[in-house]
């Protein structure tokens, strides 16, 4: 409802200018307080897309999350930590340039014990609603990357049972091709990415 009101105001040039002029007169603390009440809360997430295109068909690493009743299977990753400090007070803390990449690397290593390299942004997905976990809006950054040890080592360790989760949040790890996804209870946002976006973004999956 609030979003529709904002969109309507932005289309009314005169009203928009008037409200902007009024907003400028608000004391900074009051303006910040009102903005906090009126805007949505967002969770920022970094997700690892580890695609082995050296095999046919190409396969992607999926994990099963222990804390989800529905949509337990999905891509590994996690949420970005907040920068320390009080948002209502002046401070000098800033995030590093690679804050999202660092979040991705940390989460994958903590959960799976895997070091990732060649990290590059593949897609950003703004998600207003997640069926399995209704709550804050989500801004998910999907990063293409690969294990530092190579995919052959991942396949070998999975086959031998040596590759196991390092966190109680993860119960199983699989390498899966897109034509096998129907056999997995996928988290809805990851399912949409895997079924719609990945074939469009990665040539290795376009023929599947």
Q: Dump pLDDT digits (tens) for 87-118.
A: 566 666 666 667 889 989 999 999 999 999 99
Q: What is the DSSP letter of 27?
A: -
* Segment (H or E) for 35: helix 28-38
pLDDT given at position 21: 78
Question: Residues 181, 73: contact at Cβ < 8 Å?
Answer: no
- Which tokens in the block code for residue 150? 């190579």
Q: CATH topology for 42-205?
A: Nucleoside Triphosphate Pyrophosphohydrolase (3.90.79)
Distances in Å between the Cα of 65 and the Cα atoms of 27, 136, 175, 181, 208 are 46, 19, 15, 16, 26
Q: Residue 94, Cβ neighbours under 10 Å: how many?
A: 8
Q: Give the Cα separation of 201 and 208 in Å (integer).
A: 13
pLDDT given at position 52: 95
ω into residue 194 within 30 of 0, thus cis? no
pLDDT at residue 48 is higher than 90: yes
Q: Residue 157, Cβ neighbours under 10 Å: how many?
A: 17
Mean pLDDT over residues 30-59, rounded? 81
What pTM does this model have?
Answer: 0.80
Look at residue 148 and give its three-state secondary structure.
coil
**Four-point Cα dihedral 11, 17, 19, 20, nearest 10:** 110
Q: Residue 158, Cβ neighbours under 10 Å: how many?
A: 16
Residues above pLDDT 70, as percent of the chain: 80
Tens of pLDDT along 30-44? 766 766 666 667 788
Q: Evaluate the CA torsion angle 6, 11, 13, 15 in order and state its sign.
A: negative
């Amino acid at each position: 409802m609030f979003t529709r009101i904002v969109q309507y105001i932005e289309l009314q040039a005169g009203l928009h200018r008037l409200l902007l002029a009024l907003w400028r007169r608000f004391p900074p603390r009051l303006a910040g307080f009102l903005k906090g009440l009126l805007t949505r809360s967002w969770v920022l997430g970094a997700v690892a897309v580890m695609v082995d295109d050296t095999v046919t068909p190409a396969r992607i690493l999926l994990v099963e999350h222990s804390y989800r009743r529905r949509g337990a299977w999905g891509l590994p990753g996690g949420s970005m930590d907040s920068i320390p400090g009080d948002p209502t007070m002046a401070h000098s803390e800033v995030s590093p340039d690679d804050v999202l990449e660092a979040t991705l690397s940390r989460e994958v290593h903590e959960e799976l014990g895997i070091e990732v390299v060649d990290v590059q942004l593949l897609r950003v997905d703004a998600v207003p609603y997640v069926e399995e976990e209704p709550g804050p809006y989500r801004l998910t950054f999907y990063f293409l990357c690969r294990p530092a040890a190579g995919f052959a080592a991942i396949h070998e360790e999975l086959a031998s049972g040596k590759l196991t989760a390092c966190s109680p949040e993860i119960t199983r790890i699989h390498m899966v091709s897109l034509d096998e996804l129907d056999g997995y209870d996928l988290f809805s946002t990851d399912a949409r990415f895997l079924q719609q976006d990945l074939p469009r973004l990665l040539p290795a999956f376009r023929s599947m």
